[in-house]
Amino acid sequence: MRALTVFFALIATVAGSYGGFQLMRAVGPADLSNEFGREDNAAIDGNLLQSKNFALVVEALERELGPDGRVQHLSVELLEAYATATVGDRRVRVEVDAAGRSQQRDAGEATPAGTVPVSKIDPEALDRITAAAREETGSPVERLMLQGGGRQWSVDMLRGEPDSFIANLDGKGLRLSGEPNPVPQGAAPDSLLRAKNLQPVLDAIAKEGDRVHDLTVWPERVIAVVAKGRREVNLYFGYEAELQSRDVRALTSSRGSIPLSRIDPKAIERMARHPAAKGLKNAQYALLRSDPFENKPRWLLYLADDNDDRPYITANLKGRNVSWPGRQ
């Protein structure tokens, strides 16, 4: 009887071993080094906060989003990166691991939001940011985040003070939030103060209405208030005339308006060429306002902070007849 018991126990052991062998054949052990999130540490030299490795993230975004891919938000840490982007009418999330492998999942219907083309994300920017930030605090960078609308990097430090900065898309102009940008943006090629970049915005505004209450133009954004029947539409545009938000409100009856056809996109550049302005590089932003009582719309071009004696200049709708406060 005892021998029979031992015999059946032996059979059970063999069967269990065979079943375990079959399970291992089905699910492992296998080479998982090429799967997302399973880095081959021996093959990784450094981290994604270094430009040579961040280039893998840019390549992954191009692979996942296509040549016309646009990124709303990008977060980069030592061993992983996450991006929210738009593809057609869908919003997607792209995840990239330390070896440059990527995966994508749908995140719902796309809504108006600021974006930056993948083609404009420069890997070399990360080395510029981390070097400048370390010089400021003596501490390494913990995380970088890119916001597509403003096209600026947010910088979180691992320790030390200050513990955060912002920087331009190209990695230059490191500064505290709220500090003026040390790199002039008014004269940048994609500045909306330039006529060639402002014209597409005016074309987009025309789809909402033909009379403008207010127009404010910064190098990186435009805010317009447009009359539409008995209501007004508040529009927020970013680079490349990209609509980022739209809000409809009750019309304020006392507000004056300007026919859109009278707004000249070259007016700001004309004002900036005046000796009092010292060029677009010295321009911060421009306002176009209509006085409901005098019916004399005028441009106001605000200048850099170091122009204390002349903080802004004014001009007519064509950007001519330049004047400023206190001019005799």
Nearest residue to 169 via CA among 180, 157, 156, 185: 185
The pLDDT value given to residue 87: 87
d(CA 202, CA 26): 62
CB 217 within 8 Å of CB 284: no
The pLDDT value given to residue 282: 93
Nearest residue to 215 via CA among 264, 249, 273, 280: 264
Tens digits of pLDDT across the chain (328 residues): 444 444 444 444 444 444 443 433 444 444 445 565 655 543 456 699 999 999 999 999 999 998 778 999 999 999 999 999 998 888 999 999 999 999 999 999 988 889 999 999 999 999 999 999 999 999 999 999 999 988 999 999 999 899 999 999 999 999 999 998 999 999 999 999 999 999 999 999 999 999 999 999 999 999 999 998 888 999 999 999 999 999 999 887 667 889 999 999 999 999 999 999 999 999 999 999 876 556 689 999 999 866 557 789 999 999 999 998 867 5
DSSP-derived 3-state class of residue 104: strand
The pLDDT value given to residue 113: 87
The pLDDT value given to residue 8: 42
**Terminal Cα-to-Cα distance of the chain (whole angstroms):** 122
The pLDDT value given to residue 293: 58
d(CA 263, CA 314): 15
CB 266 within 8 Å of CB 272: no
Residue 117, preceding peptide bond in cis (omega within 30° of 0): no
Question: Which pairing describes strands 312-315 and 231-237: parallel, antiparallel, or unpaired?
Answer: unpaired
Give me the numbers of helices (H) and strands (E) for the chain, helices first please.
Answer: 5, 16
The pLDDT value given to residue 256: 80
| CA distances in angstroms from 115 to 2, 48, 220, 229, 302, listed in the order given | 77, 22, 12, 31, 27
Residue 50, number of CB atoms within 10 A of its CB: 15
